[in-house]
Structure 1
Amino acid sequence: MHRLPPLHWLQAFEASARTLSFTAAGQELSVTQAAISQRIRLLEDRLGQPLFVRHPRSLTLTPAGQAWLPSVQEAFARLDEGTLEVFGVTPDRSVTLRTTPALQSQWLAPRLARFHLTHPEVTVRVVSAVWSSDFGAEGADIELRYGQGEWRGMESISLGASSLLPVCTPPLAGQLVSLDALAGQTLLHAAGFAAGWPAWLEHAGRKDLSSHCHSLICDNLSMVMALARQGAGVALVHRCLLEDPQGLVAPFDIEVPTREGFWLCRPRSAQGSIESERLWRWLAGEVAPGPS
């Protein structure tokens, strides 16, 4: 990579070779004819051979220039395709929304689908975050975060009161006829949350069961729920992630409230675009009233 000429030299060559005119290339790239001519000379010095034959009123490509041009044009085309794939067809109108994989699939996906039906002109880029350090004021217009809603410089709207309840497949739930039946079962843990299985077992009055259960620990709720659907154990899940349980049922009617929850957030100081404001208002209308 260190042997490649600077990008603006390559742009000057491609435009000049396509138009066979330094003047036309300069107009296309918004620089002077002299600047294009200088870049081509520097490029030829770097490559060690001429790319153009200079005639009094025109240009032609040398055999080396003719042979190299398709490779340069292909490289620019691939760069353009890659930019389109990652940033969308209208990057100037896109809105970046960052949240966890579990919230993406369980809470955000159906709402984003409805938003897109109403506002297909708004390009939304959804990016993933797992740990709290993945979130920040930079890099996203809107975020869905987990915590207590107290982030400096952020406007926050609660998705509603949060509580945790155990879920599993119906066959496994059929075996859990009482809390005692949890002994010997696998408890699926999501790391990084203030409340988890110890808090639920204590709330249920059976803290002692913890030492009689097996454990699987994941760094995200999405994997925990996937394991639960495979019958690998009992997951402890936030109520708001069970709008579409997808085959999971609650074996016990016991929920433990949590001080932490999910929040819709955005930087207070940022001047959001019209598209960002449109998505924010849509999502705000989809959540339960809460503190801000």
Structure 2
Amino acid sequence: MSSLPPLLWLQAFESAARTLSFTAAGNELGVTQAAISQRIRLLEDRLGQKLFVRHARSLSLTPAGQAWLPSIHDAFSRISEGTSEVFGITSERPVTLRATPVIQQSWLAPRLVALHRQKPTILLRLVSAIWPDDFGPEGADIEIRYGRGEWSGLEMLPLGDEHLLPVCAPALARSLNVPADLAGHTLLHAVGFGVGWPGWLQAAGIAHLESECRSLTCDNQVMTLALASQGGGVALTHHRLLEQREDLVAPFDMSVPSDERFWLVRPSKRQVSDEAADVWAWLAASRELP
């Protein structure tokens, strides 16, 4: 190869390889999914090797793509660091914080209110994400992710052990004295979590009860909690997400542990601004605060 591929192609590869999503890469770089797909195809033609395996609903890296990604990532990091060293980091750039809507509402909001009162000059930009493909350090200084912490290239701090428990509106809770009282009620399911209603019912010794309950499935916890707060059923949620809610109560004391948890994460090889460092330190210090 006589020359390096165009920078736009390399950007497309780095972003798509990190997020494993052409759509997420397009969102990061401000172009369409089709544009990312075309740049990757041109790059693969230039290199003479495939970089991605295209599955029906997902992507994975080929061995060549996996071997090449660290070099590309380091190259962009060095460009960013060199730019900051020569031209400095502007204090006018907002600190971008990415998290799921439910963790923003239930855990993050009160902490950011307190942060703003103490450090009103820090500019913040909140970005919502729901699925793993929505995340990625490009464009985000700090993230709050949910999972087992199996991510590379990130500094990670756990927000604490996580337990899941049933919650519902106070009026409905008055009719639920023991887990068996769930029979005939609607169980609100949020997909994408390692522990769900089957695990909780089994731990409660009433696994058979699921067939006696109605079911409603949502693709995010914002909706299951909203339905539960309106008396639409019983949701299974994380104890951490009940901290600031008065419209939901836990009818039972029993909860089940999860090997997944919420994590405070940031890129491990990126120079950060003083403002981003302040926000990180604040959130790290407030992990276990009520």
**Normalised by the size of structure 2, how large is the TM-score?**
0.67
Q: Which has the greater radius of gyration?
A: 1
User: Which residue of the partner structure matches residue 102 of structure 1?
Assistant: 102
Question: What SS is found at the alignment partner of 2:92?
Answer: helix
Whole-Å separation in 2 of the counterparts to 1:269 and 1:134: 21
**Do the aligned partners of 1:188 and 1:234 also contact (CA within 8 Å) in 2?**
yes
Are 1:119 and 2:89 an aligned pair? no
Alignment partner of 2:173: what SS?
Answer: helix
Distance in 2 separating the partners of 1:240 and 1:123:
26
Between the aligned partners of 2:259 and 2:223, the Cα distance in structure 1 is 23
Deviations 1:98-154 (A, max 9, x none): 000000000000000010111111110001000011111212100000001221011
In the alignment, which residue of structure 2 is the partner of 1:228? 228
CA distance in 2 between partners of 1:218 and 1:177 (Å): 26
Match of 2:179 in 1: 179
Q: Deviations over 1:77-107 (max 9, x none)?
A: xxxxxxxxxxxxx983310000000000000
Contact 2:218/2:224 (CA < 8 Å) preserved in 1? yes
One-letter amino acid of the structure 1 residue matched with residue 284 of structure 2: A
Query: What letter is aligned with 2:217?
Result: I
Tell me the CA shift for residue 254 of structure 1: 0.6
Structure 2 match to 1:134: 134
Give the conservation status (yes or no) of the 8 Å contact 2:163–2:239: yes
Q: Which residue of structure 1 lines up, in the alignment, with residue 207 of structure 2? A: 207
Aligned partners of 1:93 and 1:275 also within 8 Å:
no
Measured in 1, the distance between the counterparts of 2:265 and 2:223 equals 24
CA distance, structure 2, for counterparts of residue 282 and residue 176 of structure 1: 39
Q: What are the residue-to-residue correspondences of 1:154-169 with 2, within 5 Å?
A: 154-169=154-169
Give the C-alpha shift of residue 179 in structure 1: 2.1
Q: Distance in 2 between matches of 1:187 and 1:229?
A: 13
CA distance in 2, matches of 1:225, 1:149: 25
Give yes or no for contact 1:160–1:261 (8 Å, CA) kept in 2: yes
Q: Cα deviations across residues 219-255 of structure 1 (Å, max 9, x unaligned)?
A: 1111111111100000111011111222211111110
* Whole-angstrom CA distance in 2 between matches of 1:177 and 1:120: 46
> 1:178 is matched by which residue type in structure 2?
V
Question: How big is each residue's C-alpha offset from its partner over 1:51-79, in whole Å with a ceiling of 9 and x where there is no partner?
Answer: xxxxxxxxxxxxxxxxxxxxxxxxxxxxx
Structure 2: how far apart are the matches of 1:180 and 1:203? 12
1:178 deviates by: 2.3
Q: Give the deviation of 1:216 after TM superposition.
A: 1.2
Contact 2:190 / 2:219 at 8 angstroms: preserved in 1? Answer: yes
Q: Distance in 2 between matches of 1:276 and 1:190?
A: 32
Extract unaligned runs of 5+ from structure 2.
1-89
CA contact (8 A) 2:91 2:273 kept: no
Say which SS state the counterpart of residue 200 (structure 1) adopts.
Answer: helix
Q: Give the secondary-structure state (helix, strand or coil) at the position aligned to 2:160.
A: coil
Query: For the residues of structure 2 that align with 1:257 and 1:275, how far apart are their CA atoms?
Result: 35
**3-state SS of 2:210 partner:** helix
CA contact (8 A) 1:170 1:247 kept: yes
User: What code does the residue aligned with 2:264 have?
Assistant: L
Q: Distance between the aligned counterparts of 2:91 and 2:279, measured in 1?
A: 16
Deviations 1:191-220 (A, max 9, x none): 111111111011111111111111111111
Q: What fraction of aligned residue pairs are identical, expressed as a percent?
A: 55
Partner of 1:152: 152
Tell me, in whole angstroms, the C-alpha distance in 1 between the residues paired with 2:235 and 2:106.
15
* Normalised TM-score (structure 1): 0.66
- What CA RMSD, in Å, does the superposition of the two structures yield over aligned residues? 1.5
Amino acid at match of 1:93: R
- SS of structure 2 residue aligned to 1:175: coil
> Once the two structures are superposed, what CA deviation does each residue of 1:138-182 show, in whole Å capped at 9, x if it has no partner?
121000000012210111111111000001112111111222221
The number of equivalent residue pairs is: 200
**What CA distance in whole angstroms lies between the structure 1 residues aligned with 2:139 and 2:131?**
15
1:238 counterpart letter in structure 2:
H
**Matched residue, 1:287:** 287
C-alpha distance in 2, partners of 1:199/1:138?
36
1 CA distance for matches of 2:178 and 2:239? Answer: 21
**Structure 1 CA distance for aligned equivalents of residues 274 and 91 of structure 2:** 14
Paired residues for 1:193-272 under 5 Å = 193-272=193-272
